[in-house]
Each structure stands twice: as C-alpha cells, then as structure tokens.
Amino acid sequence: MLKSKMKLSGVSALVVDSDRHAVNLLLQMLRGLGMDQPTVADTGEQALSLLKNHVYDLCIFESILPDMTAGELISFVRHQEQPAKFTPILVVTAYSHMGNVRAARDAGAHLVVKKPLSPQVLFDRISWAASATRPFVEAGLYVGPDRRFKFTGPPEGVGRRQDDLPAEIGQATEPNLSQAEIDALVKPTRVFAE
C-alpha cells in the first residue's frame, strides 16, 4: 500500500547519472519531496567507491553509464554484506527498451522507471519501495528482490521452484485407492498402552 505521508529528510540517497541536466531536475524534485542532500556520482567508478564506504538507504541509477551499466552496479550492491545488499534500487531509463528493463530487473533492481520522472511518479515509486514487503531471493547468480509480484502460481504453468505445485494435476501415476484402503486410513484404531 502506498504511503500518503513520508519523511525523506535524513534518508541518504545515491544518484548515479552522467547526464548532469537530468540530475539537476531529479535533485530539484527530491529536495521538494523533502530529501536533504542526495549524493551524486556521474560515473560507475565513482559510484563504486562511494558504495564501498557507505550504506545508502536508497539508490537511483541511470540504466546506461559511460563506463558500465546499471546492471553491473546493482550486482555489486547485491553482493555486498547486509544491510547494504538489501538497499532499494530504482533504475531510471531514457531508453526503455525491453532489453534495458530486463537487464535491470535480472540484476536485482527493485523498480525500473522511465525518464523523465514527474514528482508524482517519484513520490509513488519511493513510497512503494519503502512500503513493499518483498522477500529477497538468492538463487545461483541472482541476488535481489523476489521478481514475482503476484502470487498467481507458477509462470506459464511451469514451476521452476521446488515449492511450486504443477498448474494441472495431470494423469494419475498410481492406481486409485479402494474404499477399503481409504477406510483403513481414517478408521479409529485402538492403541494398547504397554
């Protein structure tokens, strides 16, 4: 559920974007929403050195940086010690092609938002990142928030997790129980105490 009120002063945020004009607009919005002074980095290298020395409460990354992609940066965060690895990460992208969105999602971003951001969208996305009780998943190379938003069963009817049940029951693999066998399973049985 989205929050109708938020206190963003005192929240430490890291904004990584090489487009200084876009950063300027984003900072104007963040200050308006109540954030004091977000830290800004314009290259991936700069961001990495900041992330090594500080745990941020919120990260906002541009999907394409001059020296690396947001995916590489996210992957670095997700392989840090906790609590740094759990930091909510918003990826903003001017190029909202399927490939960019997928890459950010598969690297462990919480949300991907298309540029330009509006104050409404920014408030709601931060609010969502702050209110969602989303479990974390570690599976092979993927470390990040659970990518399943809706609990509607296994995707496309094919479960890939151990606890996924098949969408269809399918053909029986064992003979059906006879009534006598069912009765035997549920019949009260006298137990003799020793």
Partner 1 sequence: MSDKPPPRTIVFKRYMVPNRLAALVDRPGGKWREEAIAEATRNLESVRGESMDVVEELIAEMELRCAEGAKDRLNVSTEIERLANQIITIAETFGLTALSEACKRLCDLVSAGEDRWAKLASPLAIHVRAVRLFAPKSRPLDATSSALVLAELRKVLDHFEIAAPKAIAVD
The secondary structure of 144-192 as a DSSP string is: EE-S--S-SSSGGG---STTPPPSS--S-SSPPPPHHHHHHHHS-----
**CB 44 within 8 Å of CB 73:** yes
Q: Which residue, chain included where needed, has tokens 């709601």?
A: 124
Distance of closest approach, residue 91 Cβ to partner 1, in angstroms: 9
- SS3 (DSSP) at 92: strand
How many of the other CB atoms lie within 10 Å of CB of 45? 13
Our finding on whether 177 is near partner 1 (CB under 8 A) is no
Q: Say how far apart CA 131 and CA 145 lie, in whole Å.
A: 13
DSSP state of 69: B
Q: Say how far apart CA 159 and CA 130 lie, in whole Å.
A: 29
Our finding on whether 54 is near partner 1 (CB under 8 A) is no
Name which of 83 and 175 has its Cβ closer to partner 1: 83
Q: Which two tokens stand for residue 108?
A: 């462990």
Our finding on whether 107 is near partner 1 (CB under 8 A) is no
Please identify, among the stretches 19-27, 43-51, 149-157, 176-184, the one whose residues bind partner 1 according to the rule CB under 8 A.
19-27
- Go through the chain and tell me how many residues it has: 194
Please identify, among the stretches 40-48, 69-77, 128-136, 169-177, the one whose residues bind partner 1 according to the rule CB under 8 A.
128-136
Residue 141: HSE in the Cβ half-sphere, 13 Å Cα cutoff: 7
| From 72, 130, 159, 167, residue interacting with partner 1 (rule: CB under 8 A) | 130
Distance of closest approach, residue 10 Cβ to partner 1, in angstroms: 6
| From 37, 95, 165, 183, residue interacting with partner 1 (rule: CB under 8 A) | 95
Name which of 33 and 50 has its Cβ closer to partner 1: 33
Size of the site for partner 1 (CB under 8 A): 61
Can you give the binding site for partner 1, defined by CB under 8 A?
A: 3-8, 10-11, 19, 21-22, 24-25, 28-34, 57-58, 82-83, 86, 88, 93-98, 101, 112-116, 118-123, 125-127, 129-133, 135-140, 146, 161-162
